[in-house]
């Protein structure tokens, strides 16, 4: 999803539904579920967050389909680590983020350092 500030990276969202509105169905809207980047969460970015990590949130929205910039892929952490190559459109998700409370599910994970 295109950010209103062109200097910021695009927002990441999962399309839940597509709806056509208007008399001729020309106003296409998408119901989305937002992903948050660590720096957009209440706790901010932590040392263990990956550069391509996003959190699936409980924040739903309806936006114009015109705001869609392109397609990206959000992988589980396990499948992300098995990718042969990571592209700009690849992200991974380990947590669900509760935007109203700033809490995470799960609230703990194992962290491995090499």
Of the two residues 92 and 104, the one the predictor is more confident about is: 92
Residues 6+ apart with CB under 8 A from 58: 33, 96, 97, 98, 99, 100
Q: How do residues 20-40 score in pLDDT, each as one tens digit?
A: 877 776 789 999 999 999 999
Q: How do residues 65-93 score in pLDDT, each as one tens digit?
A: 999 999 999 999 999 999 999 999 999 99
pLDDT at 108: 66
> What is the value of pTM for the model shown?
0.84
CB atoms within 10 A of CB 24: 7
pLDDT at 114: 42
Cα(76)–Cα(68) distance, integer angstroms = 22
**Structural domains of the chain ordered from first start:** 12-105 (2.30.30.490)
């Amino acid at each position: 999803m295109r950010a209103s500030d062109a200097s910021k990276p695009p927002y990441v969202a999962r399309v839940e539904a597509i709806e056509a509105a208007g008399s001729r169905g020309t106003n296409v809207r998408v119901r989305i579920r937002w992903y948050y980047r660590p720096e957009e969460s209440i706790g901010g970015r932590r040392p263990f967050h990956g550069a391509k990590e996003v959190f699936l949130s409980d924040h739903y929205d309806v936006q114009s389909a015109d705001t869609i910039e392109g397609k990206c892929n959000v992988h589980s952490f396990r499948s992300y680590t098995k990718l042969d190559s990571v592209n700009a459109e690849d992200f991974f998700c380990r947590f669900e983020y509760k935007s109203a409370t700033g809490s995470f599910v799960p609230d703990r994970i194992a962290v491995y350092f090499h």
